[in-house]
Amino acid sequence: MFSRARHIAIPLAGLVAAGLMSGTAATAAAPSEVVSRNAATPAEQAIQFWTPERIKAATDHDDSVDARADGLRAVDSSPDGPPGSVPPIGGEKTRTVKSKHVNLPNTVGRVFFTLPGQNPGNPKNWRYCSATSVQGKYRNLVATSAHCVYDIKKNTFYTNWIFIPSYWDGKNVWDGKAPYGIYAAKTFNAHDDFTVKEDFDYDYAFVNVYNGIKVDWKKEGGKWHWSRKNVGRLGDNVGGQGFTWNRSTKATVFSFGYPAGEHPDGDKPFSGRTMKWCYGKTRPMPAAAAYNLQEHVGLRCSFTAGASGGPLLHNYKSSGRTGYLIGVNSVAWDTDGNDRYDHISSPYFNGDTHKVYKAAANRWSGNMP
């Protein structure tokens, strides 16, 4: 067994599930390797669940054990076909949000969900990950990690799943500072090698969401009350990143997310309240048998739990705040044995990824029922 001091990898948002969700209806036909299931929680119920107090109390999803890499030698991935790409949605009609070095994308936000089979009223079951809006035929598509939609322990998808783009300190949920809306899941789309084999080389998912609503929360008599307004399609409100696959394993990327968890040494430098970013060139990562991981690419970055599902964007243009989704934050690595995460990695996006994306990108959702 590899010692902790040599090489450690851990999923950024924790382990999560295998198998097919029981009791949910399948959507339109898709390639056999694509698992598409409708959300178990009704959309309005999911949005009502996430009161301002619960939004603030949700924690990064990290309940896994450490995974040791099989060695320090990288395992290079290779394309399984010609490269391809889908352009981003252009002309975002949103305000510019600036950090010191880069304009942050309004497409990126946090997803919130509850653990299936558990008491949803227990704060221990209120979790979150990161995600981004991505181009799709009906402008209703969110990209994230598969372990941010599916529980490989319970063999089912998460419940009360919603997406809040351009999340900032919880305030945009109810005070109107960023009125892009809340988007409830309609259909989850993942690869069956993740849901059945728990293979983190397929740790990606694409979620079709209903049209968003803007929520006005008021607390009276100790209880929350809400009113709602339809704000339309996700892609019309915040745009959507492009998508690309079968590219070089050595690509220059920006990674975005909402890290909040601890490093192995217990240090907790991030709060999860605001979006963070890393920049660098990806490289092939070593294998990690505990997660059946053999084809990941990673870059130097100190992200911790909570950043899972956030996008790796290639050819990102700060002026338009768009690029091409080439990966999603999946696993955190301590490559030098100092008990500090120093790399993040993503599954290599190949033709299998494109199959899942294509199935999801052509699914309609519309307004919440």
Measure the CA–CA gap between 40 and 24, rounded to whole angstroms.
6
Given a contact cutoff of 8 angstroms between Cβ atoms, the answer to whether 272 and 126 are in contact is no
Q: Give pTM, 2 decimals.
A: 0.89
C-alpha span between 237 and 64 (Å, rounded): 35
User: pLDDT tens across 137-160, in order?
Assistant: 999 999 999 999 999 989 999 999
Averaged pLDDT for residues 73-101: 74
Does 218 score more than 80 pLDDT?
Answer: yes
Who wins on pLDDT, 323 or 292?
323
pLDDT at 95: 52
Question: CA-CA distance, 68 to 290, in Å (whole number)?
Answer: 7
Q: Please give the helix or strand (H or E) that residue 56 lies within, else none.
A: helix 52-57
Distance CA(5)–CA(8), nearest Å, equals 8
pLDDT for 22 beyond 70: no
What is the per-residue pLDDT for 246? 98
Residues 226, 48: Cα–Cα separation, whole Å: 8
- Looking only at the bridges linking them, the beta strands covering 242-245 and 343-347 are unpaired
pLDDT of residue 75: 81
Residues written for the chain: 369
Domain positions in the chain are 8-361
What pLDDT score does 221 carry? Answer: 84
Is the Cβ–Cβ distance between 311 and 108 less than 8 Å? yes
Rounded percentage of the chain residues whose pLDDT exceeds 70: 83
Q: Indicate the pLDDT class of residue 223, thresholds 50, 70 and 90.
A: confident
Tokens of 260: 């909040």
CA distance 110 to 132: 8
C-alpha–C-alpha distance, residues 291 and 332, integer Å = 12
pLDDT of 14 > 50? The answer is no
Phi, psi angles (nearest 5°) of residue 174: -140, -5
Cα(272)–Cα(259) distance, integer angstroms: 5
- Res. 249: pLDDT tops 50: yes
pLDDT band, very low/low/confident/very high, at 53 (cuts 50, 70, 90): confident
What average pLDDT does the chain have?
86
pLDDT in tens, 88-114: 997 445 455 554 468 999 999 999 999
Look at residue 222 and tell me whether its pLDDT is greater than 90. Answer: no
- Check whether 358 has a pLDDT greater than 70: yes
Whole-angstrom distance, CA of residue 64 vs CA of residue 85:
34
Interval 174-210: pLDDT, tens: 554 446 899 999 999 999 999 999 999 999 999 999 9
More confident residue, 64 or 87: 87
